[in-house]
Amino acid sequence: MTKPQIAQPDNQSDNQSEKQTELLGQTQIEFRHVTKSYGENLVLDNINCEVKRGEFITMVGTSGCGKSTFLNMLLGTVAHTKGDILLEGNPIVAEPSPERGIVFQKYSVFPHLSVRENVAISKEFEASPILGRLFGEKRQHALEEADEWLNAVGLLAAKDKYPHELSGGMQQRLAIAQALIKHPKVLLLDEPFGALDPGIRKDMHKLVLALWQKYQLTIFMVTHDLNEGFYLGTRLWVFDKTRHDPHAPHRYGSTITFDLPIGKTDEASFQQIEQSLEASRLSA
Amino acid sequence: MKRWINKTPSKTLAFVLGVIPFILVMALYQWGSDLRKAENPNDKLLPSVSQFYSAIDRLAFTPSKRTGEYLFWKDTLSSLKRLLMGVACAAAIALILGLITGAIPLVAANFNPIITTISLIPPMAVLPLLFIVFGLGELSKVMLIIVGITPFLIRDLYQKTKEIPQEQLVKAQTLGANSVQLINRVLLPQVLPRLLDALRLSLGTAWLFLIAAEAIAATEGLGYRIFLVRRYLSMDIILPYVIWITFLAFLLDWLLVHASKKAFPWYHSAK
């Protein structure tokens, strides 16, 4: 079954509108003909995209559409099969590095360290190459710097607690503070609020938008929730298969079927994307 | 009426229910002992409580006629020394090997096959070899405990290291950690409480090998004494010794649990 090809935004007019809104944004990340397959199973097919500094990309799609694979390729935990991924013009390092911060849905924080220590640990990694541990005055400095970031995410009051004493939302705040203290070039969020209650999720949205503006971050965020994608992103990507062979479901991979700049996030496009997601859910 | 699977005992009831089997066993023993004594007052198989008292008094609170030592305490001390030395060495070896094989796949590929092979050797089968290589002294007994429990500990810690969520390792790398730092700050502290768990499981096995080694070649020790007095059918000594060993095993287990709770509160409250 071939699904109706969804119109991609016209490249030329898109470029113009982007130039006006992000005159200062330089290209930070480029995907050139990137393909990912596991043996016969083609997951992502010929991804081409450019992302500028300061963009907030939200990625949606049905499960198994490859959006997490895309994020993991950026993170360096999954190697791409073909093509080039460039970060500021250089091929991306194929293992996690401080250039790319990450917040997972779960297990992002260290259970054996207090909240402060969780944030200060990257300072200790920086200054103590073997033990990864600082003592005395140096440790105090690292902890004080950690406190500043805890303040930025609204977690200063809980600085001496351990992660198991924190709620889910507070743990995610901690994971964000951990990532930000390293000043990463890109911040990757893998369904960070998927396990949180709706009220708390709203607070986290506010926090992420505030941090994004204040620190001019480039953010990639995978989400299940289309509303969340529309609300948070400056650009919304939809991952889906454009062709589908019912007899060989693995033959065709996903690609980015929608690439919507924030200006175009109107009710009509929301409906259109929701319908296409529904259709691909049914066909899967 | 509630189903049986939904009925839970109150604290008092649970205590009473738990104590009943102990009382039954003691009553059964007393009954059997009385029965045999009525038939033959010199029966040695099921001694009376007063005979236990005099045996304990003789061994624990009266100096030995031959050497002037308190045999019971001397046995306890030398057995505990062997046990703790063996367990401590095994724990140290297992911590290092388990952690490194769990953290570094290249080392795991290098060591895991031989560790698996060694763990399949029945330790008692190499006991003669240990006696030949390390002599009949203390070393060979400690070595038997080490040989007996280290492979299990290594494999368990390897598994436990592997079970630490991958997300944490990725996170640590994005925070700039190199391999050594990652082992030192992320894996090691989280594996330590799991090592204590594994030690609790292996203590029973450690006692087994200790008593086996003492039974075969020793001049003192709890296991040595039991096997020595077996020749005279001295149940009045053997049974108190067995109860004492059981108590020591319980005590060590209790100490490990509490040390772990004290040292790693985050581990116990997160579970």
- The stretch A241-263 carries a mean pLDDT of 72
In a shared domain, residues A190 and A178: no
Residue, of A25 and A38, whose pLDDT is higher: A38
Q: Taking CB atoms and an 8 Å cutoff, what residues of chain B touch A95?
A: 173
Question: By the 8 A CB rule, do A234 and A265 touch?
Answer: no
Tens of pLDDT along chain B (271 residues) come to 889 999 999 999 999 999 999 999 999 999 999 999 999 888 888 898 888 999 999 888 888 888 888 899 999 999 999 999 999 999 999 999 999 999 999 999 999 999 999 999 999 899 899 999 998 888 999 999 999 999 999 999 999 999 999 999 999 999 999 999 999 999 999 999 999 999 999 999 999 999 999 998 888 999 999 999 999 888 999 999 999 999 999 999 999 999 999 999 999 986 5
Residue, of A41 and B212, whose pLDDT is higher: B212
Q: How far is CA A119 from CA A142, A144, A181, B172, B264, in A?
A: 9, 10, 7, 11, 20
Assigned domain for A155 exists: yes
Identify which of B107, B98, B81, B271 has the alpha carbon closest to the alpha carbon of residue B198.
B98
Residue, of A227 and B221, whose pLDDT is higher: B221
What is the per-residue pLDDT for B233?
87
Identify which of A106, A91, A11, A52 has the alpha carbon closest to the alpha carbon of residue A220.
A52
CA atoms within 13 A on the CB side of B21: 4
Residue A260 has pLDDT above 80, yes or no: no
Predicted confidence band of residue A283 (pLDDT cuts 50, 70, 90): low
Q: Which of A129, A163, A182 is the last residue of a domain?
A: A182
Does A179 sit within 8 Å of B174, measured CB to CB? yes
Domain of residue A263, residue span = 11-99+184-283
Buried b (16+ CB within 10 A) or exposed e, B185-217: bbbbbbbbbbbbbbbbebbebbbbbbbbbbebe
Identify which of A222, A195, A173 has the alpha carbon closest to the alpha carbon of residue A72.
A222
Residue A6 has pLDDT above 70, yes or no: no
Q: Is B180 on the interface with A (CB under 8 A)?
A: yes
Q: How far is CA B66 from CA A47, B69, B70, in A?
A: 89, 8, 11
What is the per-residue pLDDT for B161?
96
In a shared domain, residues A56 and A123: no
In a shared domain, residues A196 and A278: yes
In a shared domain, residues A195 and A177: no
Reading the block at residue A113, the tokens are 């360290």
What is the per-residue pLDDT for B87?
97
Q: Is A121 on the interface with B (CB under 8 A)?
A: yes
What is the per-residue pLDDT for B141?
92
What is the per-residue pLDDT for A15?
44
Assigned domain for A197 exists: yes
In angstroms, what separates the C-alpha of A122 from chain B's closest C-alpha?
5
Helix (H) or strand (E) holding B115: helix B105-120
Which amino acid, B86?
Answer: G
Give the C-alpha separation, B170 to A105, whole Å. Answer: 13
What is the per-residue pLDDT for B115?
94
What is the per-residue pLDDT for A1?
38
Assigned domain for A90 exists: yes
In a shared domain, residues A19 and A156: no
Q: Which of A182, A203, A228 is the last residue of a domain?
A: A182
In a shared domain, residues A89 and A204: yes
In a shared domain, residues A33 and A117: no
DSSP β-bridge partners for residue A30: A50, A86
Q: Which of B174, B182, B184 is facing A98, going by the closest CB pair? A: B174
Question: By the 8 A CB rule, do A67 and A59 touch?
Answer: yes
What is the per-residue pLDDT for A47?
86
In a shared domain, residues A226 and A173: no
Assigned domain for A198 exists: yes
In a shared domain, residues A134 and A270: no
Interface A–B counts its CB contacts (< 8 A) at: 94
Does A95 sit within 8 Å of B181, measured CB to CB? no
Assigned domain for A29 exists: yes
Q: Which of A160, A182, A204 is the last residue of a domain?
A: A182
Residue A14 has pLDDT above 50, yes or no: no
Give the C-alpha separation, A139 to A119, whole Å. Answer: 12
Residue A140 has pLDDT above 60, yes or no: yes
Return the sign of the alpha-carbon dihedral for residues B40, B44, B48, B50. positive
> pLDDT tens for residues A172-207?
999 999 999 999 999 999 999 988 888 888 889 989
What is the per-residue pLDDT for A264?
52
| Domains of chain B from N-terminus onward | 4-46 (no CATH), 71-270 (1.10.3720.10)
Residue, of A260 and A39, whose pLDDT is higher: A39
CATH, residue A239 = 3.40.50.300
Q: Taking CB atoms and an 8 Å cutoff, what residues of chain B touch A164?
A: 266, 269-270
Buried b (16+ CB within 10 A) or exposed e, A163-191: beebebbbbbbbbbbbbbbbebbbbbbbb
What's the total number of domains in chain A? 2
Does B171 sit within 8 Å of A132, measured CB to CB? no
In a shared domain, residues A211 and A253: yes
What is the per-residue pLDDT for B254?
97
Residue, of B12 and A21, whose pLDDT is higher: B12
Assigned domain for A105 exists: no
DSSP β-bridge partners for residue A41: A38
Assigned domain for A104 exists: no
Residue A122 has pLDDT above 60, yes or no: yes
Reading the block at residue A279, the tokens are 């259709």
Assigned domain for A5 exists: no
In a shared domain, residues A206 and A271: yes
Q: Best mutation site among A71, A121, A128 for testing chain B: the one with the most B CBs within 10 Å?
A: A121
Q: Taking CB atoms and an 8 Å cutoff, what residues of chain B touch A128?
A: 181
What is the per-residue pLDDT for A268?
67
Does A175 sit within 8 Å of B185, measured CB to CB? no
In a shared domain, residues A93 and A27: yes
Neighbours of B34 (CB within 10 A): 12
- The stretch A29-46 carries a mean pLDDT of 87
Residue A119 has pLDDT above 90, yes or no: yes
Reading the block at residue A47, the tokens are 């991804």
